Amino acid sequence: MSLTPGPVGRLIEELSRLPGIGPKTASRLTFYMLRAPEAQVIALADAIRGLRAGTVLCSTCFNIAEHDPCPVCADQERDRGLICVVEEPLDVLAIERTRRFRGVYHVLHGALSPVDGIGPDELKMRELVERVRSGGVREVLLATNPTMEGDATAMYLARQLAPTGIRVTRLAMGLPVGGDLEYADEVTLGEALEGRRDV
């Protein structure tokens, strides 16, 4: 026999499915919401409801947006000849924060991971190749993560794009700001040495 009333138990169960939230945190959040002002709780519920109904995938870059095309693809100031390829929508936000990139994006929604059965067909790869083939593109910048899967994805794409003859670049690798040479791993440090530049 359970002491928690049905609706409380249901919310705890739903919350504890979220990443990073265990049953303890879920019950704490649930009981917080029981006591919180009603308007706040309703606002949260609306926000969750609106999340799926109010978002679409941009049909050009496959980023998550309110409207199709997304603001970046719709922006006439953006350089459409330069496509930055990233794994996840969050990576677009990270690159936008630098304010140094004026091109457009292409979101793959993942990286190749043979061990998990994620192959080229599970990602937006064919769409990228078609987009590049349809013309007007000068350069494709592969900004996948510097992990084994990200590297595999970049190499696979580079191979797919080779026949188009368009310039394909990869994000540089090097040391993080505030880092310490002593603790740098040899791959990163090696890449940083190779990619050194004049000051």
**Binding positions for other proteins, rule: CB under 8 A:** 19-20, 112, 114-117, 119-120, 147-148, 151-152, 155-156, 159, 176, 178-180, 183-188, 190
Give least dist CB 115 to other proteins, A.
Answer: 5
The nearer residue to other proteins, 104 or 125, going by C-beta atoms, is: 125
Give, in order, the Cα–Cα distances in Å from 32 to each of 8, 27, 70, 166. 11, 8, 36, 55
In 3D, which of 170, 166, 132 has the Cα closest to residue 153? Answer: 170
H or E stretch covering 140 = strand 139-142
In 3D, which of 50, 101, 58, 95 has the Cα closest to residue 79? Answer: 101
Give least dist CB 110 to other proteins, A.
Answer: 12
Three-state DSSP class for residue 62: coil
The nearer residue to other proteins, 19 or 37, going by C-beta atoms, is: 19
The nearer residue to other proteins, 119 or 195, going by C-beta atoms, is: 119
Contact by Cβ (8 Å): 91, 141? no
User: Rounded to whole angstroms, how far apart are CA atoms 153 and 149?
Assistant: 6
The nearer residue to other proteins, 35 or 183, going by C-beta atoms, is: 183
Give least dist CB 85 to other proteins, A.
Answer: 16
Give least dist CB 95 to other proteins, A.
Answer: 14
